[in-house]
C-alpha cells in the first residue's frame, strides 16, 4: 500500500510540473528562431525509394521567406545533385532532383546560413542530414 501512495505522489508531481511548463508556454514556444521541425527522408533513413515521384522536404517551425531557396545542397560522393526547389507552403520547402538517384547510395543534404525567416536566421546553421537510397 505504501508503494501505491508513493507512485501516486510521484505521478502528481510529474503532472503538476507538466501543467506549469504548459502555462509558461512550454519549451517549443520559447524557441524564437525558426528551426527544422523534420525532414523527409529523415536523418539516417535507409532504403529510401528513389523512383516514381521522389522529393526531399524540409519542414520549418515558422513561415519562412519564400525568396530564400538557393541555400539547399544535396551531394553524393562530393558531387552536387541538380534539381528544383519549390515552396509548398510557408513552412515546407521541397527539392525534386532532375535525375533518378543512384541505388544503395548515401546522400548528404545541407541547409546553409542563407535560409531565413523574414528577419530571423535559421537556428541550426548549417543543418545537415543524410539518407541512403534503396536498390
Number of Cα atoms under 13 Å in the Cβ half of residue 89:
6
Strands 79-80, 92-97: pairing is unpaired
Per residue in 1-59, pLDDT (tens digit) is: 555 444 444 544 445 455 444 444 444 445 567 788 999 999 999 999 998 889 999 99
Q: Are residues 8 and 61 in the same domain?
A: no
Range of the domain at 25: 1-30
Q: Are residues 66 and 6 in the same domain?
A: no
Instruction: Tell me the C-alpha distance between 91 and 48, whole Å.
Output: 23
> Comparing C-alpha atoms, which of 60, 70, 67 is closest to residue 118?
67
Domain count across the chain = 2
Q: Are residues 26 and 36 in the same domain?
A: no
Per residue in 59-81, pLDDT (tens digit) is: 988 888 777 666 789 999 999 99
Task: Identify the pLDDT of residue 62.
Answer: 85
Q: Are residues 127 and 78 in the same domain?
A: yes
Q: What pTM was estimated for this model as a whole?
A: 0.70
Q: Are residues 25 and 63 in the same domain?
A: no
> Comparing C-alpha atoms, which of 107, 85, 110, 80 is closest to residue 95?
85
Helix (H), strand (E) at residue 10: helix 2-23
Amino acid at each position: 500500500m505504501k508503494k501505491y501512495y508513493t507512485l501516486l505522489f510521484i505521478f502528481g508531481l510529474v503532472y503538476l510540473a507538466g501543467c506549469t511548463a504548459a502555462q509558461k508556454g512550454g519549451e517549443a514556444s520559447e524557441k524564437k528562431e525558426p528551426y527544422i521541425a523534420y525532414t523527409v527522408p529523415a536523418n539516417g533513413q535507409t532504403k529510401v525509394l528513389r523512383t516514381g515521384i521522389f522529393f526531399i522536404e524540409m519542414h520549418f517551425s515558422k513561415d519562412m521567406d519564400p525568396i530564400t531557396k538557393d541555400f539547399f545542397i544535396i551531394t553524393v560522393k562530393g558531387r552536387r545533385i541538380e534539381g528544383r526547389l519549390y515552396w509548398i507552403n510557408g513552412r515546407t520547402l521541397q527539392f525534386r532532383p532532375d535525375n533518378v538517384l543512384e541505388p544503395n547510395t548515401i546522400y548528404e543534404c545541407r541547409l546553409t546560413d542563407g535560409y531565413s525567416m523574414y528577419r530571423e536566421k535559421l537556428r541550426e546553421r548549417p543543418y545537415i542530414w543524410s539518407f541512403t537510397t534503396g536498390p
